[in-house]
């Protein structure tokens, strides 16, 4: 129809992706010592985007040495000088945000609407926020003479590649630490573009080093004897392995691991608003979010009405080309992740939960999963317990607020939760009993650099963001 609103997809041409990239060590792009490379593909097309150098143990050592050398001067700079660099980086990110948003969408598969309106603004906000702290550390009640720890070894996942980098690098630099960061193997590109931004900002050599690679590169970084602080975001299994490596050393450690967030809807909640919040809670970034609201706890009396509205809403979500500004559901980040999601969903069906999936046309190439709901779910079902990390929502019911709290807390994880109700008193009463690092009320997935973020229980320890995020990088 000539009246149909169909804006053009965001142009791929705004980003210039080179056919190959090196490691970023001591301010220069270089090959890996053993010459190894790996390919990064676009999960929405399976097209190879670039070939990237793969760091080995020798490169880790080189990067840690560069970071150690840079630490002497960087940590001795007045905070006001470090702030200038961080402000400069933040401004360059804003200036280049269109290019970075398209790049991130290509490498990760998430909709451009999200990279443009959520990831990139939050990345810049993080650098601005921590730039503002750099000259105030002596006066902020951290105790006398707060000092940086030294070289930070940071390992990040693929679900928010540039945002996780910002969460790790901005507080580390503001406090005077230097960094060696390993991006995830499926999404190395935005970290390499960030390396270029560090050069553009004139950041002294060696302050930030970027080492693309697989798990063994991460393991070598974590184990390096001259790394003083380890910060990891990723799976609980790898978090456990890292904790073992670090145990008995003088390294400081923060871990941000998995989750199985409960989104609790009471019978007095405005249903339409709750439906939007539920959709945002689990289908944002195809559900590949550690704090996703992946368990819906709905009060029995509104279960049928809510489920009807939810299914209607899910049927309107558009799955497809992530560069199209109308797309709601992009590609799953990798074939491996798609396989993991598929096998957990099959297990859910085999255990007797009832599956419903939105009818979507699945593109021929790429990795895709239609928005899916499970009803008739019990707390014993795998889909109610395990992190699926995909666009899959498990629906459970409750009768009383106490039962809602008990079910929400019945999880090995404790990262996030949501409450939907008109009663302010109920928000306060329920929130105070939830064992989760963040509780949202009548909203979900709201992030802000001023707020500490992190888990209870097996979701990890330590906080990122806010004033608490600085403590992880300081000795006082
Ligand atoms: O994670 P990994 P994967 C969860 C989610 C997902 C599952 C597996 O449930 O389905 O984990 O994802 C690096 N030493 N989350 O396999 O392996 C790795 O190269 C040091 C939740 O992708 O933990 C990557 O850079 N590093 C999550 C990073 O760790 C190692 C985000 C994360 O990868 C390593 C991602 C090792 N031995 C997945 N092995 C969240 N909390 O947001 C791997 N790595």
- Catalytic member of 104, 256, 464, 471: 256
Query: Which residue in this structure is represented by tokens 């400081």?
Result: 252
Give Cα separations from 334 to 104, 187, 320, 361 (angstroms).
14, 10, 15, 19
Q: Of the residues 182, 220, 238, 289, which should be mutated to test ligand 1's pocket, given the most ligand atoms within 8 Å of the CB?
A: 238
> Which atom of ligand 1 has the smallest separation from the CA of 460?
41
For residue 121, what are the contacts with CB-CB under 8 A and spacing of at least 6? 97
Residue 290 designated active-site: yes
- The dihedral through the CA atoms of 163, 167, 168, 172 has a sign that is positive
> What gap in Å lies between CA 390 and CA 375, rounded to an integer?
16
Q: Of the residues 38, 110, 156, 157, which should be mutated to test ligand 1's pocket, given the most ligand atoms within 8 Å of the CB?
A: 157
Q: Ligand 1 mean position to 238 CA, how many Å?
A: 6
- Catalytic member of 290, 387, 458, 464: 290
Does ligand 1 lie within 6 Å of residue 256's CB atom?
Answer: yes
> What gap in Å lies between CA 135 and CA 131, rounded to an integer?
8
Does ligand 1 lie within 6 Å of residue 69's CB atom?
Answer: no
pTM for this predicted structure: 0.97
Query: Which residue in this structure is represented by tokens 């142009």?
Result: 11
**Mean pLDDT per 10-residue segment, the chain (476 residues):** 57 94 98 98 98 98 99 97 98 96 98 97 98 92 89 98 98 98 98 98 98 98 98 97 97 98 98 98 98 98 98 98 96 98 98 97 97 98 98 98 98 98 97 98 97 96 96 93
> What gap in Å lies between CA 268 and CA 421, rounded to an integer?
6
> What gap in Å lies between CA 166 and CA 194, rounded to an integer?
10
Does ligand 1 lie within 6 Å of residue 242's CB atom?
Answer: yes
Interface TM-score (ipTM) > 0.85: yes
**Cβ–Cβ contacts within 10 Å for residue 165, how many?**
22
Q: Ligand 1 mean position to 257 CA, how many Å?
A: 9
SS3 percent helix, strand, coil of the chain, rounded to 5, is 40, 20, 40
Q: Are the C-beta atoms of 232 and 255 separated by less than 8 Å?
A: yes
Residue 360 designated active-site: no
């Amino acid at each position: 129809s000539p009246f149909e609103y169909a804006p053009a997809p965001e142009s791929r041409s705004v980003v210039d992706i080179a056919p190959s990239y090196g490691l970023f060590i001591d301010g220069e792009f270089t090959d890996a010592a053993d010459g190894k490379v790996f390919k990064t593909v676009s999960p929405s097309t399976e097209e190879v985007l670039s070939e990237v150098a793969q760091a080995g143990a020798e490169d880790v050592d080189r990067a840690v040495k560069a970071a150690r050398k840079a630490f002497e001067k960087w940590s001795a700079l007045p905070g006001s000088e470090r702030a200038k660099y961080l402000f400069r980086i933040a401004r360059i990110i804003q200036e280049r945000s269109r290019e970075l948003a398209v790049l991130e969408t290509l490498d990760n598969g998430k909709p451009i609407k999200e990279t443009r309106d959520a990831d990139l603004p939050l990345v810049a906000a993080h650098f601005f926020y921590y730039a503002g702290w750099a000259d105030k550390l002596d006066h902020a009640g951290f105790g006398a003479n707060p000092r940086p720890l030294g070289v930070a070894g940071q390992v990040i996942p693929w679900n928010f590649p540039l945002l996780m980098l910002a969460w790790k690098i901005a507080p580390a630099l503001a406090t005077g630490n230097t960094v060696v960061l390993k991006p995830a193997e499926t999404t190395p590109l935005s970290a390499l573009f960030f390396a270029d931004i560090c050069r553009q900002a004139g950041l002294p050599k060696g302050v930030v080093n970027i080492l693309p690679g697989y798990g063994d590169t991460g393991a070598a970084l974590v184990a390096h004897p001259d790394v003083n602080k380890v910060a990891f975001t990723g799976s609980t299994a790898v978090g456990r392995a890292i904790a073992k490596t670090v145990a008995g050393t003088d390294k400081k450690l923060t871990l941000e691991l998995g989750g199985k967030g409960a989104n609790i809807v009471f019978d007095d909640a405005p249903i339409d608003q709750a439906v939007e919040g539920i959709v945002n809670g689990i289908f944002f970034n195809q559900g590949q979010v550690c704090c996703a609201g992946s368990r819906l706890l709905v009060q029995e009396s509104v279960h049928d009405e809510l489920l009807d509205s939810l299914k209607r809403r899910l049927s309107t979500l558009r799955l497809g080309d992530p560069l199209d500004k109308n797309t709601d559901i992009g590609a799953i980040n990798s074939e491996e992740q798609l396989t993991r999601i598929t096998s957990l969903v099959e297990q859910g069906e085999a255990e007797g939960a009832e599956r419903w999936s939105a009818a979507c046309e699945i593109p021929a190439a790429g990795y895709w999963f239609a928005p899916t709901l499970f009803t008739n779910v019990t707390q014993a079902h795998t889909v109610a317990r395990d992190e699926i990390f995909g666009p899959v929502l498990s629906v459970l019911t409750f009768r009383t607020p106490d039962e809602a709290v008990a079910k929400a807390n019945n999880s090995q994880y404790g990262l996030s939760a949501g409450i939907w109700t008109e009663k302010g008193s109920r928000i306060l009463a329920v929130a105070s009993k939830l064992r989760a690092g963040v509780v949202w009320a009548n909203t979900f997935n709201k992030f802000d650099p001023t707020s500490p973020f992190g888990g209870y229980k097996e979701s990890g320890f330590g906080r990122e963001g806010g004033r608490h995020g600085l403590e992880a990088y300081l000795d006082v």
